[in-house]
Amino acid sequence: MKEDIKRVLLLFLHLPLMFHLLMYSFARNKKAIDEDVEVICKRRGIGYKGTFAIVYLLYSDNYYRNIFYNRIGSVPFLFTWYLPRAKDFFPCNNIGGGVYPAHPYATILNAKKIGKNFSFRQCTTLGNKRDGENTNGPIIGDNVNLGANVCIIGDIKIGNNVIVGAGAVVVKDVPDNVIIAGNPAKIIKKIEG
C-alpha cells in the first residue's frame, strides 16, 4: 500500500494528471463521478476517499477511466495517451452515478439511458435489434445488476432493482424488483421490497 501511495503522490507532479483533476473540478457530472468512485472503492476494498481516490483510480484502472472520460465528455488526445482508456464500451451518455464495472471485458453499453448503481460483468451487450438503429436501445432502471454474457436488445425497459442472471437474453420489458434468467429471459423470482 505504501508503494501505491508513493506512486500516486508522484503522479500529482505530472501535468496530464493535473489536467484530469482540473476537468473533474469543472465537470457538470461531478456528483455522478463522486458516486462512481465511492461505489468502486467500496466494492474493491480501496480505502482512499475524495480526490485521492479519483487519482488512484485514474492511474490504476483503465476501465474506470472509460467511465471518467464518459462523464467529462470530449477529452483531448494529448491527455488520453498518458492515461489511455480501455476499448470504449460506453456509447451511452445518459448514465446515473454509481456505475460499477466488475469485469467489463468485451462489453458494449449502447442504451438510451442507464440508471444509478448499475453493475455489469464481462461480455455484456446492450443495444438495438438492427444495424443502424442507434436510437432503439434499452432503458435500464436504477440498481440493476447484470451477470456475465447478458444481452439486452431492443427498445425495451428494465425496471428498478433487477438482477439479470448470467447468459440471459432479454428482449421484452422487465418489471421492478425481480430476478430474471434464461434465453429468452423469464422472471424466476420476485425480490421483496
Q: Mean of the pLDDT values across residues 107-113?
A: 87
Q: Which residue ranges does the chain devote to CATH 2.160.10.10?
A: 100-190
Catalytic residue, candidates 49, 103, 189, 190: 103
Q: Which CATH class is domain 100-190?
A: mainly beta
The yes-or-no verdict on residue 96 having pLDDT over 70 is: yes
Q: Mean of the pLDDT values across residues 167-190?
A: 96
**Does residue 103 carry a catalytic annotation?**
yes
159 or 3, which is more confident: 159
With helix as H, strand as E and coil as C, how does 90-159 read? CCCCCECCCCEECCCCCCEECCCEECCCCEECCCCEEECCCCCCCCCCCEECCCCEECCCCEEECCCEEC
Grid coordinates standing for 51? 480526490
Identify residue 73 by its one-letter amino acid code.
Answer: G
The yes-or-no verdict on residue 90 having pLDDT over 70 is: no
